Structure formats: C-alpha cells, structure tokens
Amino acid sequence: MRTYQGQVLDALGDATRRSIVEMLVAGPRSVVEIAADLPVSRPAVSQHLKVLKDAHLVSSTAVGTRRLYAVDPRGLAAARDYFDQFWNQSLAAFARAAENPPEERP
C-alpha cells in the first residue's frame, strides 16, 4: 500500500509534473497557459494535472468555463515532512559525532 507521502513523491518523480508544480508556485494557471510553456499537448497536461491533484499537490477552481490550477500546500507539506525526517536524522548524527569525537590516533 502506498503512503500519502509516497503518492506525493511518485507524482513529483516525473519531470513534466515537477515543471508544472514549479510554474504554479508563481500563481494559478489554466491548462492552456501551462501547456503553452511545455513541450506536451493540452490533453497530456490535463493527465499530469490529474496525477498532481490526486496527490494533493495542486487544487483547481472553476472560473467561468475554465479551471485554474494552483499549488496545494498539503502535498508540499507531505513532501517536506518526508525529507525532514532524513534531515533531522542527519543533524542528530552530526551532533552525536561532534559531541563525541573519536580518539585521536597516533
């Protein structure tokens, strides 16, 4: 069974989806606007957005006849939490090593 964090990381594992998230950090965009900046078709962008939405990395809002997509902080928080666990473990290991240096060798 995939975890929520795993779903987020899987979604971000694709370069096109990462590009879409990076674009949306600047502000909401429509599928047409996103597709204009990528070397993929509008239907492909829609499929990528579906994966990102399922992973809670983007949200959508209806504006007239179109949908605007924006970054969803829940998914970004899940990705950050995932990487923070490694960062925290690394900092703890560094602190232990700094506090207990090995004996000097001859």
pLDDT digits (tens, 9 = 90+) for 43-68: 999 999 999 999 999 999 999 999 99
Number of domains in the chain: 1
In a domain, residue 105? The reply is: no
Residue 45 lies in a domain: yes
Residues 84-99 pLDDT 10s? 887 777 778 888 888 8
* Statement: residue 7 has pLDDT above 90: no
Identify the domain containing residue 20 by its residue range. Answer: 4-94
What span, in angstroms and rounded, lies between the C-alpha atoms of 42 and 13? 20
| CATH code assigned at 48 | 1.10.10.10
Helix (H) or strand (E) segment spanning residue 30: strand 29-30
> Is 21 a member of any domain?
yes
> Is residue 58 a contact partner of residue 8, using CB atoms and an 8 Å limit?
no
Task: Tell whether 35 is covered by a domain.
Answer: yes
